[in-house]
Structure 1
Amino acid sequence: MPQKKKFGTFAGVFTPSILTILGVIMYMRLGWVVGNAGLIGAIVIIVIAHVISVATGLSVSSVATDKKIGAGGIYYVLSRSMGIPIGGSIGIALFVGTAFSIALYLIGFAESFNAYLGFGTEINDLRLTGTIALLGLTVLALISTSVALKTQFIILAAILVSIVSIFFGSTEFAPTTINLIPSDNAVPLEVVFAVFFPAVTGFTAGIAMSGDLKDPKQSIPSGTLYAIGVGLVVYIILAVFMAFTINSEVLRTDYNILMKIALFAPAVVAGIWGATLSSAIGGILGGPRILQAMSIDKVTPTFFSKGKGANNEPVNALFLAFIIAECGILIGELGIIARVVSMFYLTAYGFINISFFLESWANPDFQPTFKVKRWVGLIGFIACFVVMFKLDMIAMLVALAVISAMYFGLQRKEVKLQSNDVWKSVWENVVNKGLKKIDAQVEENTNWNPNIILFSGESDHQAYLLELCKTVSGRTGIVTNFKLILDKNNSKPPLKKIDQIVRDEKFKELGIFARQIKVSNIYSGITSIASTFGFSGVEPNTIMMGWPKGLENSKEYSNMTQTLLHLDYNLLYLDFDRKTKFGNYNTVDFWWRETDSKNAEMMLNIARFIIASPKWNNTSVRVLFVNNNNVDVSVIQSKISKLVEDLRVLVAIKIINNAVEQKTFYKIIEEESKTTDLTIVGIPDYNIEKQAEFVLKTNKLFDAIGSTLLVKAAHNFNELDLDLGDTK
């Protein structure tokens, strides 16, 4: 079996990168950039473009030295750090951008080739020449990657000779005045930048060869950054030279001016042809390798993963790259192709930078040998999207929509790798910092943010208890449902942590966490969970369960209740009517009494959450108050109206005069709320010795009305002024 060939930093990274950087834009459009933007504008464009490329180069180099790098270049780096959905969506964007860039280079080649040899320069002539060149380079790539890479040394020498020939060339087109800023008839700077930007994207050509490098962790950072640095110096020097030696009008109109001023024109021709063709070779070699790596990971069809030879050359992927490149060639306009390529690369580079930033910030296992400050990635990310917005906001939105669609598509596909996903580290970091912030705050009487421990049991109506619990917890509340597995003899060991987690679709849909715990006694189990569950900053504050019919004489239940009251939990008990359920979700009654001052404030919070729920958003809310002391009804009405006005919904207030008849509170509820879909009543303070009496009396009420929620507020709720006994 033939030995697989590996390349070093110079041949494998620097050379393909620098040849792509010093390519078609430098020879065929840099003069046009200077002519339209002026010297200062051109330098600003060059610098901004290189801020993005330097930031991206630093980011990808740092990430590349943290993990083992395989074939696929930037795609491989992203998929192993950010996960398959992000890595795959950006990898696809990079592949398409790289394939289109092949067309960019070959149309540039065709412009120079046809003009120099006197062939036609119409769009169809350029398409024909570009297509012939694409066929020839594809055949070369199929023959041997090694041969293709070795030709680059000859081309690099030709580029150096051509640049020297340009600097020592004719000054017959010298301007009378130096054009420092754009003239009135110049192309807008946004368009100029979009055409120029592909010049700085060439560094990805070297990274794409990651699978063919001897030491990618050493070669990628050094080869990439040297190529970017050399390119920056050459572009600035050439821009200054052109501004001082060539008239701006000539620069704007003559794409072949460098051949005309050169000391030896054939040297420049050789440089242009060599640079454009070598850049195209870089795309032809790199693009298919990205697609092949994605196909190996099953992101794209596995058909494209197949290769040939000892180096597993990506033959099938190469044909798709050929088709996309040919589509670009058929466009035929270098400026249009350049703008398309710019959007693809800017989108990809933005996510590469944010990938590095998130890895550096959130992943405790991120230990690259090439250290870079994390703010570099953030600057690169911001710069990419600011530039995209300035270039073409609609194109930016389309690009983001396409990337998002691919991202969610890959998420649904659920392709997984045996590698870390930075998003887990990101969320852990966010949660960690958030908990510290919350824990550092002194607790005050603020709006109730529910953190509910739910004991829903297992029954036919469990779903309704889960639904109501999620409703009263509001949009930001937390609900954790506990399933208690009874083992009276304590004969089995406790469940392992991983086995305590319950993953069930019904909990997932409602956004409820679910756990299961083995207990020897239900009531002591509830007490134990209430005493120990939770962590700093997010301690549970509410217990919710079904109403315990038949336990009026249970000593264990009594002890549990005493403990929960002592722990100062809010208590919610639901008596669910199995016949009427929650009716049509149309009516809710809140019952207040003078002794319900804390319960009333809790009910106000529950009311806010209920009316915000989609199922209850058209409900009619009533607040009912029993007037036992013959107080002026208008006084009571006014006081309650002020308390409920923050609900921002129409609340009906009903005052029931009971000074004469002196009916029992529960009897009045039975009469008024017989057909109400959900009745909410406060639990009064009572001695635990009277538990049996309270439970029996409450059971009788529940037999007469529909679903009812009993509420007992903890001490952290404010006392509302409901004492109207002395009011005259």
Structure 2
Amino acid sequence: MAAIKKFGTFAGVFTPSLLTILGVIMYMRLGWVVGNVGLIGAIGIILIAHVISITTGLSISSVATDKKIGAGGVYYVLSRSMGIPIGGSIGIALYIGTAFSIALYLIGFAESFNGYFGFGMTIDDIRITGTLALVSLTILALISTSVALKAQYIILTAIVVSLVSIALGTHEYAPESTKLFADVGNVNLEIIFAVFFPAVTGFTAGIAMSGDLRDPKTSIPKGTLYAIGVGLVVYLAVAVFMAMTINSTELKSDYNILMKIALYAPAVVAGIWGATLSSALGGILGGPRILQAMSVDKVTPRLFAMGRGKSRDPVYALILVFIIAETGILIGELDVIARVVSMFFLTAYGFINIAFFLEHWANPDFQPTFKVKRWVGLLGFIACFGVMFKLDILAMIGALVVIGGLYFLLQRKEIKIQSNDVWLSVWENIVNKGLKRINSDDNSKSNWNPNIILFSGQSDHQSYLLELSKAVSGRTGIVTNFKLVIDKNSTKPFKRTEQVIRDENFKELGIFARQIKVDNIYTGITTIATSFGFSGVEPNTVMMGWPKGLENSTEYADMTETLLYLDYNLLYLDFDKKAKFGNYSRVDLWWRETDSKNAEMMLNIARFIIASPKWNNTAVRVLFVNNNKANNAVIHSKIKKLVEDLRVIVEIKIIDNAIEQIPFYDLIAKYSAATDLTLVGIPNYKIEEQAAFVLKTNHLFETIGSTLMVKAANNFNVLDLNFKKAK
């Protein structure tokens, strides 16, 4: 079996890239640019455009030497770096931009061809000539990719000869003095830049041929950067030559002025035609391979993945390129097409640069053989979107909306490939640096950020405990639910991958879920509370259901004593199975003199709860039991200040109980009977008194709705609730 023909750096990357760079814009519009903005302005436009092309070329070259590069060029690199959704959305944009750029080159060819032979110059005449050229090039591409690439050498020679002929030509249109700056009233600078920018997009023509290269990791960096460098030198040289030898009036009005000044006009014609046709041919060869690669990954319809022959030439993808390019030709306006192409390529280049930056910054496995500083990618990204913003903010927004829509569409398709995208590395890097920062700070007295270990058990009402735990954790808190599986028949734990529970209920709430085997529920809870967590995000709260029926359990008492010793915040929910959380309209916080730490924790919990969607219309009350004949106004004023310091809006209710001395739980039963969620502090008691406390609390729960019992750890501030008796 004959080996599939593969290409080297010069034939596969450098030549197609350079021929696309030295294309229609150089011959047909560079003079117009110089005539409108002067030599200094033209040099500025060329350099700014090349900042984008050079940074993008460096970025793509570096990424290309890190990964195995397959067919699809830029799409392949982005999809394996940033994932299918971004790679696919940018790949589609790049594919469409490439197809429209074919129309750009062929409209330029048609303008020159018709002008040279004296054919009609109406828009319909341009469309006819452009269409005939498109059909001819498509047939050539269908006949043989190899033949098409070999034709490039003849075209490259023609371009060199044409540039020599221009340099040795007549100076009859020479200006009196070189125009350095733009005149007042000339074409808007943004429009001029948008028309010129496609001149520097040609370097992706070689990258698109990645699947046909013998050694893409070597050929892409060398061929791409050499093509960009040679292109920059040629554009600067031609711009200087034009400014010094042709007056601005001719430059602005005559797109074919280079033919008129050349030593031998046919040589320039051959260069123009060769450059425009070869640029179009580069798009016809490269564009379909982008679509074919996307179809192989199931991003686009599988039909376009089909190829012909041993080299699997993408016939169906080529037909679609033909249709899009023909649409651009039917538009018929070179300047309009140039501006459309600019937006597509600027967007794609911006994401190529940020992909490289993120890979370099976050991915520990990023080891390219072609080393580039990561700030290059960031500079390219900023330059691309800065230029887009300056050119046309509406077009930029439109491009981002289209690409954003494609991104979410592909994300919903959940296409999987055997490659890790950079976002996992980005998040790991952010988490790593964040943990180090958190761990280095003494945050013992900072605002409470809940990190909850939750034991929700298995019941019909588990979802309500999950819901409340997520509300209590706030926007930035963490909840990890543990399912304890009693298995006395096996000493082997779950495998590490089996410990993770992937359930839609947990995923929707943003709760991490794990399962572990234990011999005993209470020792299991103690073991987890003792060992779970790591530096920076150690758990600080244990939450579970209220232990009805366990008042005489020594195992439960030992567990509680250990949790208190470990200095966890403890949250126990007694869930009312009938009333549930009512209509989420009222939360009561019960305070007494002994609740000095619990009070602050209750306020924090209330602050987080009312920020959650279901509780956002909830009224919060602080009910303080005055057992000492203290002045109610003083109490109210002091509590108001404490509440304001914690930025919680509450209603304050003082209950005089100095004379009647009604038991605390009886007052709760009286005032909170219709409350949707009641928060009550757990007082300090000796562990041997736990049974009596649990029984008394169980009796309270029979008379009120859902209740959250709160025991604050030592890191909470002591609120002075011991008000002195009024004198």
Verify same fold: TM over 0.5: yes
Q: Does 1:109 align with 2:135?
A: no
* TM-score normalised by length of structure 1: 0.99
Q: Deviations over 1:575-612 (max 9, x none)?
A: 00001000000111100001111100001101111111
- 1:383 and 1:477 map into 2 onto residues whose CA distance is 37
Matched with 1:573 is: 572
Q: Which amino acid in the other structure matches residue 84 of structure 1? A: I
CA distance in 2, matches of 1:334, 1:529: 69
C-alpha deviations, 1:414-465, integer Å up to 9, x for none? Answer: 1111112111111111111110011111123111100000000000100000
3-state SS of 1:499 partner: coil
Map of 1:3-82 to 2, 5 A cutoff? Answer: 3-82=3-82
Runs (5+) with no aligned partner, structure 1: none
> Does the 8 Å CA contact 1:179/1:248 hold for their aligned counterparts?
yes
Structure 1 residue aligned with 2:500: 501
Structure 2, gaps ≥5 residues long: none
Show CA shifts across 1:187-244 (max 9, x none). Answer: 1111111000000000011111111111111111101100000000000011011011
Q: Which amino acid aligns with 2:417?
A: L
Q: What CA distance in whole angstroms lies between the structure 2 residues aligned with 1:460 and 1:312?
A: 57
Task: Tell me the distance in 2 between the aligned counterparts of 1:652 and 1:585.
Answer: 16
Partner of residue 523, structure 2: 524
Q: Could you say which residue in structure 1 is the equivalent of 2:474?
A: 474
Which position in structure 1 is the counterpart of 2:292?
292
Is 1:58–1:372's contact at 8 Å kept on the other side of the alignment?
A: yes
Query: Contact conserved, 2:607 with 2:648, CA < 8 A, in 1?
Result: no
> Structure 2 CA distance, aligned partners of 1:542 and 1:281?
66
**Aligned residue in 1 for 2:643:** 644
CA distance in 1, matches of 2:161, 2:33: 23
Contact 1:585 1:616 in 2 (8 A): yes
CA distance in 1, matches of 2:122, 2:647: 69
Distance 2:491 2:303 in 1: 51
**1:598-677 residue pairs with structure 2 within 5 A?**
598-646=597-645, 650-677=649-676
User: Partners in 1 of 2:310 and 2:691 — Cα distance?
Assistant: 83
1:224 paired residue number:
224
- The one-letter amino acid of 1:162's match is S
Per the TM alignment, residue 646 of structure 1 is displaced from its structure 2 partner at its CA by 4.6
1:182 aligns with 2:188: no
Preserved CA contact (<8 Å) 2:603 2:648: no
8 Å contact kept, 1:2–1:310: no
- CA deviation vs aligned residue, 1:291-332 (integer Å, no higher than 9, x gap): 001101111000001111121110000000000000100111
Whole-angstrom distance in 1 between the partners of 2:289 and 2:50: 25
SS where residue 419 of structure 1 aligns? coil
1:697-716 to 2 correspondences below 5 Å = 697-716=696-715
Given that 1:576 and 1:706 are in contact with CA atoms closer than 8 Å, whether structure 2 keeps it comes out as: yes
CA deviation digits over 1:6-56, x for unaligned, max 9?
111111111100000000000000001111111111101100111110111
Further displaced range: 284-293 or 422-431 = 422-431
Name the SS for the 1:581 alignment partner: coil
Amino acid corresponding to residue 98 of structure 1 in structure 2: T
Other-structure match for 1:355 = 355
- Give the Cα separation in 2 of the matches to 1:254 and 1:248: 10
> Secondary structure at 1:169's aligned position in 2?
coil
Letter in 2 for 1:491: S
CA RMSD between the two structures: 1.0
Matching residue of 1:684 = 683
Amino acid at match of 1:331: I
CA distance in 1, matches of 2:322, 2:456: 60
Q: CA deviation at 1:644?
A: 1.6
Further displaced range: 179-188 or 103-112: 179-188
CA contact (8 A) 1:490 1:520 kept: no
- Aligned mates of 1:690, 1:726 — CA distance in 2: 30
Matched AA of 1:214: R
Residue type matched to 1:426 in 2?
Answer: V
What residue is the counterpart of 1:248 in the other structure? Answer: 248
Q: Secondary structure at the match of 1:681?
A: strand
Corresponding residue of 2:273: 273
- What amino acid sits opposite 2:566 in the alignment? L
Q: Provide the C-alpha distance between the structure 1 equivalents of 2:305 and 2:490, rounded to a whole number of angstroms.
A: 54
Deviation at 1:721, TM superposition (A): 1.2
CA contact (8 A) 2:105 2:280 kept: yes
Give the match's secondary structure for 2:534.
coil
Q: Is the contact between residue 161 and residue 271 of structure 1 (CA under 8 Å) also seen in structure 2?
A: yes
Alignment partners' CA distance in 1, 2:69 and 2:583: 59
Q: Does 1:339 align with 2:360?
A: no
Task: Tell me how far apart the structure 2 counterparts of residues 571 and 5 of structure 1 sit (CA, whole Å).
Answer: 71
Q: Distance in 1 between matches of 2:196 and 2:302?
A: 36
CA distance in 2, matches of 1:575, 1:513: 23
Q: Distance in 1 between matches of 2:546 and 2:327?
A: 70
Identity %: 76
Whether the 8 Å CA contact 2:291–2:305 is kept in 1: the answer is yes
Mapped contact 2:629–2:726 kept (Cα < 8 A) = no
| Aligned-partner residue type, residue 495 of structure 2 | K
Residue 726 of structure 1: how far off its partner (Å): 4.3
The structure-2 alpha-carbon separation of the partners of 1:676 and 1:455, relative to structure 1 and needing over 3 Å to count, comes to: same
Alignment of 1:349-498 (within 5 A): 349-487=349-487, 489=488, 491-498=490-497
Quick one: distance in 2 between partners of 1:218 and 1:618?
63
The one-letter code of the counterpart of 2:607 is R
Per the alignment, in what secondary structure is the counterpart of residue 244 of structure 2? helix
Q: CA deviation at 1:466?
A: 0.4
